[in-house]
Amino acid sequence: MRWCHGCHVNHIPPLITSDGELVTSTSGINNILSERFFPTVPTPIPPHHPDDPPAHAPQSFTDITKEEVSFNLAQTSNTSVPSPTGIRYKLLKWCHITSPSRLTTLFNVVITLRHHLWRDAKVVPIPKPNKADYHVAKAYCPISLLECCGKLLKKIIAKHILLDVNHYHLLPPTQFGSRDYHLVVNAAMCLTHSIQSCIKMGHIGALILFDIQGFFDNLHVN
């Protein structure tokens, strides 16, 4: 109940297994949450489909510059939750100011060799608000605490990809998000316009919304 009111507690309450057994041990709770968050046998999904659009010509990845590292570091918070190694953005900022070529060279080498150095994460279960029962695993959602160095590289790569998305028109206008001038607000405005037009013409309309549970946990890695 204290979690519902925003108070901090250091331990997760006992959880109930699928068989109805109450588990209080740390290892047992870890197993329940792991089975909930990380399915061991994901649904098989083929990486290619018959209706896939034709592939675009591959583009070379532009080298990361010192200015990009400085710009993206300036947008980070020094009070963010520390990564598994405890290295925060403040330490990375000190490193970049002292030797701007260090992080820049490291990031470019990682991309050239196609080897991700920061693959470990600390997963913390966070209770969802306003749940009636906090003894079931579905009342929690996982938060991954990644290494700040890896998150910084991810921010830079994401901006490179978004620039290509806009320049080569890789996403259709109906895609909201990950595009300039195509935000959630625009999607809501289009929906409102469609509803108002439907009512004005005296038609009956229907809206279907999908909430895909466990979407990212079941993605086809390959």
pLDDT string in tens for the chain (222-residue length) = 455 555 666 677 889 988 888 998 989 998 998 888 877 776 677 878 899 888 888 888 899 999 999 999 999 999 888 778 888 999 999 999 999 999 999 999 999 999 999 988 888 888 888 888 888 988 888 888 899 999 999 999 999 988 888 888 888 888 887 777 788 888 899 999 999 999 999 999 999 988 877 666 666 666
Two structure tokens written together for 39: 């399915």
> What pLDDT, on a 0 to 100 scale, did the predictor assign at position 158?
92
pTM across the whole model: 0.75
Q: Which residues contact 92 (CB under 8 A, 6 or more apart)?
A: 73, 76, 103, 148, 149, 152
- Count up the domains in the chain and report the number: 1
| Residue 208 covered by a domain | no
13 by Cβ neighbours in 10 Å (0-12 / 13-18 / 19+) ranks as middle
| Residue 164 covered by a domain | yes
| Residue 129 covered by a domain | yes
Q: Which structural domain range is residue 36 located in?
A: 3-43+58-171
> What pLDDT, on a 0 to 100 scale, did the predictor assign at position 222?
63
| Residue 194 covered by a domain | no
| Residue 65 covered by a domain | yes
| Residue 140 covered by a domain | yes
| Residue 160 covered by a domain | yes
